[in-house]
Structures are given as structure tokens and as C-alpha cells.
A and B are shown apart, each in its own frame.
Chain A
Amino acid sequence: MQKTYYDPADLKNFGKISDWNSSLGEKFFDYYNSVFKEGALSAREKSLIALAVAHTIQCPYCIDAYTGDGLQRGITKEEMMEALHVAGAIRGGASLVHGVQMMSKVNKLEM
């Protein structure tokens, strides 16, 4: 039995997801590849967004992929870390903003 849930080698085989359902798999990859093309946002900006999201959803495959992608695009480690702090701020903020609900509830319940 495999001893870990994640294997870095699995990333290379991502495309094989289409093997058991080529129709849906191909639709996904068509969509995926279209998303990352140059558009109103540059491919470089999209790579940074992907890196930040990867950390938010804690996907180790995506972190590997978009760290490598960023380096290939000449993105600096300082830019990558700033993108992560954006993810961290939103993630932290998302917890804290619920504090308003908590405060309202406390205010309602307390004398």
C-alpha cells in the first residue's frame, strides 16, 4: 500500500485523467488551457493568481507546477511571496470578517 497520499510523480500524469472519460477530460483541459492564455490579464499575472490560489486550496501539485511556471516566466521570489501574502490576507480576512457575526451574536445574547 502506498504510504503517502501525495506522490510528486503523479503531477506528470495529470493528463491521464482523460483516460477514463475522454470527453469530459478534454473539455476540462480545453477550458484550462484557454484560461491561462494571454487575455485581459497577462499569462504572467494569471500564473501568480494560480500560485496564490494553489496555496489557499493547499494543492501541493499546483504549488509545484506554478512555482516552476513562475520561475520560467522570470517571476521573482519576492513577487511570489507577495502573491502568497495576498492569499494569506484574504484567507485570514475571511476568518476575521466572520468575527462580525460573532460580535453581533454576542451583543444580541449578552445583557
Chain B
Amino acid sequence: MIKSLKRRESELANAEKQLELLSNGIFAQGELPTFKESIHKSGHFPLKPKSLEILQINVGYMCNQVCKHCHVDAGPDRKEIMAKEIMSQCLEILKNTSAHTLDLTGGAPEMNPNFRWFVEEASKIGVRDIIVRSNLTIMRANKKYYDLPAFFKEHNIHVVSSMPHWTRGKTDKQRGEGVFDQSIKALKALNKIGYGLKDSPLKLDLVYNPSGAFLPGDQASMELDFKKALMEDFGIQFHNLFALTNLPISRFLDYLLASENYEDYMYNLVEAFNPAAVENVMCTNTISVSWDGYLYDCDFNQMLHLPVNGKVKHVSEYNEAILQNREIVISQHCYGCTAGAGSSCQGSVA
């Protein structure tokens, strides 16, 4: 199993180093326009938030998998975990704002010891949509997780699962040996209790992201291919497929540089820049919270240590009015969310 960039003491574990790479070279030399220049030209600068709909919370970077492209640099060697106190402050935000969706991510969010308590409390206060971004294999990793599908069902959790391809080879190459088989078992367990079935209220969506230095294809076509293959090969059903673009940060940036694909990939992203996608990028209706309670415009800015603009920086001092007036923080990685049909944690945006 590969180690996280942090454990390897890679210079790319340093957010400043990543930002430096993204700002210099082809962008500083003027070969490519910066993201700010592009959205300025399309009339979208400065990027401002709409009303808050989604509170996305990263409850920790600990994970049982070490995916090659992971923008969180998560893995078993990461120990950052959100404390119960921070979770309580997040619940207050959910009670007092227009946010109707709680989006829990990680690492493997299920590995946070307070995960179930948090879900139960959020369920009690009536959050409309509680999303858990599950890597699937966690449900098979240890006996203490075997009942997760039942727990999800009990709280009507919306399960959004990572699945880079319908074939073993491509999946295991990106996410680790044996991940495909364990993911199939987990999907079957979810189907068995009603998740993902046609007309079932138990929502099961899959997330596809390319296994390499290329952009995702058309989301609707990919969904048809995934559905056909998973049904024919394993009898598995699911609702929607979200096709996400890999953003050039963290381990994916490390891969791009090591494989000498970085410049070509940035050219592809910039060439595919779609002004229409800018209007619906996730940072406009989402606040991202880190394990230690700091506020970001999105999960990617969180990993680059680019906190929200303005006075309010932490859940303990959350102020909706001040945050609504902020300017969203951008850099070159934002081209990843505006390429082609656009990309966010909810899939295509244009």
C-alpha cells in the first residue's frame, strides 16, 4: 500500500508548494490565462456565493484506502479526525441557516469514532438530505463496519460511492488491489436492503472520475455504460452517476508531474473552460468545513489551505451574513470544476 504524501514527506504535501506550482510556469509565462483572467473575460469575476444549500464537512483524513488520485492525500497513516465539539458547532449551523444538505466526506468518514453520533443528531434536527461519501470497501474492512448499510437505511442516508470503472483492472489500478471485488460486495449488500433500486427512496449514486490524465466523458453516456455493465456482470443497480474531473492538486498533481502530464493536462483543462459551468460550481452554494473546524469555499481549497475570505474563519464564529458577502477564493485548480460540462461533488453542472 502506498503512503500519503505527508508520510512520504513529499514537498507536495505542502499546500504552499502546490499553489506555487499552479501559479508559476505556464501561467506566469503567459502561455495560458490564469483562472482569474478567464472568469474576468467571461464576466464572472469576482465569483460570489448564492444562498447556502450544502454544508460539506470533512470529518477526517483517515482512510482504509490510498487512491492514487486522492486530492485529500488521505490514507491509514493520516490521523486528523474531527472532534465532537466541532460536530456540535456544525449542527448549530445546520439548525440556523438555509443549508438543507449535509455532505459528509473524508478520508473514509465512517472511520471517525463520532460519525454515527453525528449522523443521528443531524437526522434528529431534520436535515433534508444527509449524504455520506463512502468508498464502499469500508463496509467490508472490519466486522465493526458490517452493519453500516443497515445504519444508513435506518437514517435514510443518501449514499454516494466512489467507483472509477465497471472493470476490476481500472478500479484496482487507481484505488488499490482488491478494491473492486470488495466494492462489488458492498454494492450488493446495499442493493439487498433496497438501496439503488428503481423507485426506491434509498438513494445510491456512484461517482466516476478518470483513472489518468484525461477528462471525464459525457456523464449521461457514462451512466448508461456503468448501469449496463454492472447489471449484466453483477446484477447491481444504482440511481445516478456523477462524473467528476480530477483537480490538479495533491496526489493527482504528484502523478501529473511524475508522469510528465502536468502541462498537457492544464492545457486540456484551460481549453475545455466552459463559462456556462462557472455559474453552478459547487463553491457558490456550499461551505466546506475541515476536521478542525475551519471554513473553506470547497474541499479543494481546504486541501490547499485557502480559507474563506473575510473575518469569519471558523465554525465557532460562523456568521451567515458576513460569509454571504465574501468573494470566493480561486486559483488555477478551479479550471478543473469549469472544464467541459463542469464538475462538482454533485456531478456535471452545465
Contacts and interface: CB of A to CB of B under 8 A. Distances in A.
A72 B167 contact: no
Contacts of B216: 72
Contacts of A44: 221, 225
21 contacts: A12-B271, A42-B221, A44-B221, A44-B225, A71-B212, A72-B210, A72-B214, A72-B215, A72-B217, A73-B218, A73-B221, A74-B165, A74-B208, A74-B217, A74-B222, A74-B225, A74-B226, A76-B165, A76-B167, A76-B169, A76-B170
Nearest to A47: B217
Interface of B: 165-167, 169-170, 208, 210, 212, 214-218, 221-222, 225-226, 267, 271
A43 interface: yes
Nearest to A42: B221
Contacts of A43: 221
A83 B194 CA distance: 39
Interface of A: 12, 42-44, 68, 71-74, 76, 78
Contacts of B165: 74, 76
B217 A73 contact: yes
B207 to A, nearest CB: 14
Contacts of B221: 42-44, 73
B220 to A, nearest CB: 10
Q: State the main secondary structure of chain A at its contact with B.
A: helix
B306 to A, nearest CB: 29
Nearest to B169: A76
B57 to A, nearest CB: 31
Contacts, number: 32
Nearest to B216: A72
Contacts of A68: 214
Contacts of A78: 169
Nearest to B166: A74
Contacts of A74: 165-166, 208, 217, 222, 225-226
Given A73-B222, A74-B165, 19 more contacts: A12-B267, A43-B221, A44-B221, A44-B225, A68-B214, A71-B210, A71-B212, A72-B210, A72-B214, A72-B215, A72-B216, A72-B217, A73-B221, A73-B225, A74-B225, A76-B165, A76-B169, A76-B170, A78-B169
A78 B169 CA distance: 10
Contacts of B210: 71-72
A72 B170 CA distance: 13
Contacts of B167: 76
A71 B166 CA distance: 13
A68 B214 CA distance: 7
Nearest to A67: B214
A12 B216 CA distance: 19
Report, nearest first, the 8 A-B pairs whose CB atoms are least far apart. Answer: A72-B217, A73-B217, A71-B214, A72-B214, A68-B214, A74-B225, A76-B167, A74-B222
Scoring A68, A73, A74, A78 by chain B CB atoms within 10 A of each residue's CB, the highest score goes to: A74
Contacts of B170: 76
Contacts of B215: 72
A32 to B, nearest CB: 18
A65 to B, nearest CB: 12
B42 to A, nearest CB: 20
Nearest to A73: B217
A72 B222 CA distance: 9
A26 to B, nearest CB: 20
Contacts of B217: 72-74
Nearest to B212: A71
A3 to B, nearest CB: 21
Scoring A12, A42, A68, A78 by chain B CB atoms within 10 A of each residue's CB, the highest score goes to: A68
B163 to A, nearest CB: 11
A76 B316 CA distance: 48
A89 B217 CA distance: 29
Contacts of A71: 210, 212, 214
